[in-house]
């Protein structure tokens, strides 16, 4: 709060915050007042220096040599940066299997987001309720976003129509887009687009897996 910081936090650091949050929260539960970078690093198998740098980026005060960082203050600052306190409303477009999945997923609120409505083109979906959220026709998307001051849109439509939906969201005043479609969307510079691609995670996994299996086969061959 006291630091102008906010903008100076790298995406890499941001992506580690949820991990820190958890560890520090545990420390609080355990009644600890201070926690040190080496302790956190050990827990997360990260480098001590990285943790120190990350904490420095979000922490409004300084750590105390020999003791570490105030658990309570760290928690407050991290939560502040994460913006967990003020829940932001979002709409989701594309109630297919992934879309339905996300509509039913309750974990978003933990990170400051709440999906308030779903939209789809299919008449089969329109009118239904998924995960407690009503599904409406895409016709009403713009109107809804404007009326409810929606700033976040989640795109779970097929790649073909993703750009079109993106344009629609942007024209309705949405500023941030969480894109699950396997393409890179085009939008004005001030719109922030986060591409979530599980395909990539799967690829990396199966790549490593393949290497691992090959290594195992080599081992077996040697033994024979």
Partner DNA sequence: TAGATTGTTAATCGATTAACAATC
Binder to DNA among 44, 56, 76, 116 (CB under 7 A)?
56
How far is residue 91's CA from residue 120's CA, in Å, rounded to a whole number? 11
Strands 113-120 and 176-179, by their bridges, are unpaired
2 sits near a second copy (criterion: CB under 8 A) = no
Give the binding range for DNA (CB under 7 A) out of 31-39, 75-83, 156-164, 208-216.
31-39
Closest CA to 116 of 127, 130, 137: 130
Closest CA to 103 of 113, 117, 89: 117
Give the binding range for a second copy (CB under 8 A) out of 47-55, 58-66, 117-125, 184-192.
184-192
Of residues 119-158, those binding a second copy (CB under 8 A): 131, 151-152
How far is residue 81's CA from residue 28's CA, in Å, rounded to a whole number? 19
Which residue, 64 or 202, is less far from a second copy as judged by CB? 202
In our burial notation (b when 16+ CB lie closer than 10 A, e otherwise), range 147-177 reads eeebebbbbbbeeebbbebbebbbebebebb
Which residue, 63 or 153, is less far from DNA as judged by CB? 63
How far is residue 74's CA from residue 9's CA, in Å, rounded to a whole number? 15
Q: Site map for DNA, 66-85, x if CB under 7 A?
A: xxxx----------------
Q: Which does 69 bind (CB under 5 to 8 A by kind): a second copy, DNA, none?
A: DNA
Which residue, 72 or 206, is less far from a second copy as judged by CB? 206
Q: Which does 147 bind (CB under 5 to 8 A by kind): DNA, a second copy, none?
A: none
Give the binding range for a second copy (CB under 8 A) out of 27-35, 56-64, 121-129, 177-185.
177-185
How far is residue 173's CA from residue 88's CA, in Å, rounded to a whole number? 14
Residues that bind DNA (CB under 7 A): 10-13, 36-39, 46-50, 52-53, 55-56, 59, 62-69
């Amino acid at each position: 709060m006291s630091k102008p910081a906010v903008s100076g936090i790298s995406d890499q650091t941001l992506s580690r915050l949820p991990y820190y949050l958890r560890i520090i929260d545990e420390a609080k539960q355990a009644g600890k007042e201070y926690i040190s970078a080496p302790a956190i690093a050990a827990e997360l198998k990260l480098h001590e220096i990285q943790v120190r740098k990350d904490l420095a980026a979000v922490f409004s005060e300084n750590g105390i040599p020999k003791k570490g960082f105030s658990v309570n203050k760290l928690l407050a600052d991290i939560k502040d940066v994460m913006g967990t306190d003020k829940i932001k409303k979002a709409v989701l477009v594309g109630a297919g299997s992934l879309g339905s999945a996300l509509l039913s997923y309750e974990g978003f609120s933990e990170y400051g987001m709440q999906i308030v409505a779903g939209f789809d083109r299919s008449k089969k979906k329109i009118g239904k309720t998924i995960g407690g959220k009503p599904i409406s026709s895409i016709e009403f998307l713009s109107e809804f976003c404007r009326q409810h001051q929606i700033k976040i849109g989640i795109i779970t439509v097929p790649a073909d129509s993703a750009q079109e939906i993106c344009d629609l969201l942007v024209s309705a005043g949405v500023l941030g887009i969480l894109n699950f479609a396997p393409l890179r969307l085009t939008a004005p510079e001030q719109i922030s687009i986060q591409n979530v691609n599980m395909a990539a995670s799967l690829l990396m996994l199966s790549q490593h897996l393949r290497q691992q299996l090959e290594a195992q086969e080599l081992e077996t061959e040697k033994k024979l």
